[in-house]
Amino acid sequence: MPHYTEDLSRNWLLIPLLLLYLPYLGGVGFIGPDEPRYASIGRAMAVSGDWVTPRLDGQPWFEKPPLLYWTIAVGHELRLPDEWAARLPIALASIAFLIFFYGVIEREFSARAALAATTILATSAGWLTYSFAALTDLLMSATLGAAMLLALFDTAFDARRKLSGYRGALGSPAGYVVGALLGASMLAKGFVPLVLFAPVFLVARGKRLTSIAGCIVVAAPWYVLCSIRNGSAFWMDFFWKHHVERFLSSSLQHVQPFWYYIPVLLAGLFPWTPLAGLLLLRKTYDDVRVRFLTLWLLYALVFFSAAQNKLPGYILPLMPALAILLAVSIDRCPESPFGVQWVLGASGLMLMIFPAISAALPDALLSGLSKAHLVFAHALPFVVIAAAAWVLAWRNYRTAALVTVAMSVAVGIAYLKIAIFPVLDQRVSVRAFVTAHTAEVSSSCLERVPRSWEYGLAYYAGHALPPCSGTATEARPRVTVRDSQLVVVDQ
């Protein structure tokens, strides 16, 4: 029976992930300032054929390395619709990583731990959100996470090396793969992956030289070519402004307190936030592998917390390691009247706020969560789910309890996409507005339009729209905001 369970988990993992991540990728237009900006750069690469220098509105833009732009450009080369071209590569990268994640954890720990860790990660709010959006965080987290897993848990490569009698001067051949993945992570988000990966070199001794070699081969060509083409401007903007100043200076206006990432990380775990209580169990840390992951998590958390500028997506790389710790904690939690059934039941109970979050989401994206109205309704089904999870865990069917909550998350995500995406498309994204006013928007200027909409208007209009100032824009229609909605006003 155990072998049947492991084979079933492995063989059927792909289907639920496809159903969870792929539908409705184009159900809502680009949201926020970053999605349309990155999509514009990727589209420009496909049109111009210049895959070295990222450009926004014809000007070099060195905020991020090119991996995300390259994937978007490939989507346009394949003639995918705009949102699918930008978001499909992210969703596919997430699915590929989750399958790889399951395989490594199954081999290193057990099929039960692998299913628990993958389920927690795949259905957590943070991982789900960034697997949908055309942002750089998921690509960096997936490639860095894969590099770490291979470096730390490379038992299959080591076993094959011993059986074949291989004695390479540069260590394990897996080191080249680790380095290539680390290089891809650097192409996704710069030099931060090197800082996060540094502690791994302390334990992955046989892979250091090969990892460095693989990283250089993958990442160095773009950095060298972009530097040759753009000179010191590239390094001043890319490295100094978006690495050093982002860490040390408050000039980028994303300053948050030191403790900011504690609630962000707990919120990103939703609905599995109550499982964090299991991390207090001493039995969890009997395994040296778990102790290292814990120390690495604390190191990464302190590093990001020390930075002046903080955004929620920065700590996405922590979530795979955290999911492993939670899965091990569930497995080792002792059977007792106050055991794992309570935290799994509480995770199911967390879903009670799902309808409220869905109703408040448009207002939260427009004005912030503090101005959104949370209305708790239709919560009774989730009480039943929480009770079912509690009973299953109490009967020691922990995996069944976990999967019960995860299936409810999947249903909630489907509801969100079907019911809320049309509302977001009308109220939060500018796609519907531009479609309804194509002629006017194309020749308009912008008057006090928030930055979150400015880049979206430029993307869907096909060019940047100038501000309404000076004689050059006097005869143009004006796009402005009234009652929190975009409108076109004729001069």
How far is 94 from 138, CA to CA, in rounded Å? 7
pLDDT of residue 86: 97
Give 93's contacts (C-beta < 8 A, 6+ positions apart). Answer: 138, 139, 142
| Bigger pLDDT: 333 vs 120 | 120
Among 2-6, 47-51, 415-419, the range with the most confident prediction by mean pLDDT is: 47-51
pLDDT of residue 7: 46
pLDDT of residue 156: 44
pLDDT of residue 309: 87
Q: What average pLDDT score do residues 396-400 get?
A: 85
Mean pLDDT of the chain: 86
Residue 323 corresponds to which tokens in the numbers above? 């999911």
The DSSP H or E segment spanning 174 is helix 174-189
- pTM for this entry: 0.91
- pLDDT greater than 90 at residue 93: yes
- % pLDDT > 70, the chain: 86
Q: What average pLDDT score do residues 337-355 get?
A: 78
pLDDT of residue 55: 96
- pLDDT greater than 80 at residue 397: yes
pLDDT of residue 335: 63
- pLDDT greater than 50 at residue 4: no
Give the tens place of pLDDT for each residue, 219-257. 999 999 999 999 999 998 998 888 888 887 776 677 889
How far is 215 from 237, CA to CA, in rounded Å? 23
pLDDT of residue 382: 75
- pLDDT greater than 60 at residue 338: no
| Bigger pLDDT: 424 vs 13 | 424
How far is 28 from 129, CA to CA, in rounded Å? 13
pLDDT of residue 359: 66
Q: How far is CA 476 from the centre of its chain?
A: 40
How far is 336 from 342, CA to CA, in rounded Å? 10
Q: How many other CB atoms are found less than 10 A from the CB of residue 481?
A: 14
Q: What average pLDDT score do residues 8-23 get?
A: 78
- pLDDT greater than 90 at residue 27: yes
Q: Are 238 and 62 in contact (CB under 8 A)?
A: yes
- pLDDT greater than 60 at residue 490: yes
How far is 190 from 193, CA to CA, in rounded Å? 7
Closest of 316, 332, 319 to residue 279, by C-alpha: 332
- pLDDT greater than 70 at residue 332: yes
Report the Cα–Cα distance between both ends of the chain, in Å, rounded: 74
Give the tens place of pLDDT for each residue, 147-200. 999 999 875 444 444 434 444 444 557 889 999 999 999 999 999 999 999 999
The domain segmentation of the chain, as residue ranges, is 254-333, 337-423, 431-489
pLDDT of residue 358: 66
pLDDT of residue 3: 39
pLDDT of residue 13: 77
pLDDT of residue 29: 96
Pairing of strands 445-446, 478-482: parallel
- pLDDT greater than 80 at residue 218: yes
Q: Find where tokens 């530097």 sit.
A: 227
pLDDT of residue 33: 92
